[in-house]
Amino acid sequence: MAERPLTLPSPAPNRTLAARVRALREERAWTPERLAKEAGIQLATLKRLEGGGPIQPGFFTVGALAAALGVSLDDLFRQAQTAEPGLWSAGYEGRDIESFVASLLSAQISTVADVRLTPISRKPGFSKTRLTHALNEAGIAYTHLRALGNPKDNRAPFWEGRISEGRARFRSLLRSDAAQAELDELAEHAAQERVAVLCFERDQQRCHRHVVLETLRKRMSLPVSPLA
């Protein structure tokens, strides 16, 4: 018998379902492999579903998950308790992708906002495609905000200790229409969920993201926390 599709009208229910399935699984200290086995579904299907991406889970898939987790369908779609929104400062210098994602999960980050001008890295796992995949596997969204990146000709001041000079130049760049639009986008996310603003430097003081976060903090009166 063909599986009847469960139509989801927007990405929001997908994100709710993803968060709820993941939360219920973790409450039971089950691995994704254990839940997939208990529900009789493919592990790849479960991982895509928990990633909250554009998947249309079938009725019987969702029913099998509910049965395996011992909850009703209504409870499965109930909005998981959400953490207070806010901003986190995230630098991946000195980290590997596994520990970085673990830190994001520990802080209950919903979205990573990448403010590198070019999201390419020599560190395995931190270039855009692989980073997006790793984050989606963990149920975390990714967005690249290119207009909030620091141009190459303004990086030396941060590296050479002329930080005030670099920050002043970058503040002037944030006045562009493109940068203002992406600041608005970032503010909208941060008003509703926990957002980690990502760049390379672990020390925010040596990174242009300090200016991005400072600008948002003044605009929104939201707390900014370092990612542990």
CA distance 204 to 186: 18
Q: Taking the CA of residue 63 as centre, how many other CA atoms within 13 Å lie in the half-sphere pointing to its CB?
A: 7
Measured from the Cβ of residue 83, the count of other Cβ atoms closer than 10 Å reads: 12
Question: In angstroms, rounded to a whole number, what is the distance separating the alpha carbons of residues 37 and 135?
Answer: 23
To which residue do tokens 């990405």 refer?
11
Q: What amino acid occupies position 74?
A: D
Separation CA 105–CA 138 (nearest Å): 8
Query: What pLDDT score does 210 carry?
Result: 97
Domain 86-226 has CATH 3.40.630: no
Any idea what the Cα angle at residue 54 is, between residues 52 and 56, rounded to 5°? Answer: 95
Q: What is the pLDDT of residue 74?
A: 81
Question: So where are the chain's domains?
Answer: 11-76, 86-226
11-76 CATH fold? 434 Repressor (Amino-terminal Domain) (1.10.260)
**Full strand arrangement of the beta sheet holding 86-91:** 141-144, 111-114, 194-199, 86-91, 224-226
The confidence score (pLDDT) of residue 18 equals 79
- 156, two tokens: 């030396």
Sign of the torsion angle spanned by Cα atoms 208, 214, 217, 219: negative
pLDDT tens, the chain, 228 aa long: 344 343 333 444 566 777 788 888 888 989 999 999 999 999 888 888 887 655 566 778 889 999 999 998 887 776 555 578 999 999 999 999 999 998 998 888 989 999 999 999 999 999 999 999 999 888 789 999 999 999 999 999 999 999 999 999 999 999 999 999 999 999 999 998 999 999 999 999 999 999 999 999 998 888 899 997
Identify which of 28, 50, 192 has the alpha carbon closest to the alpha carbon of residue 109. Answer: 192
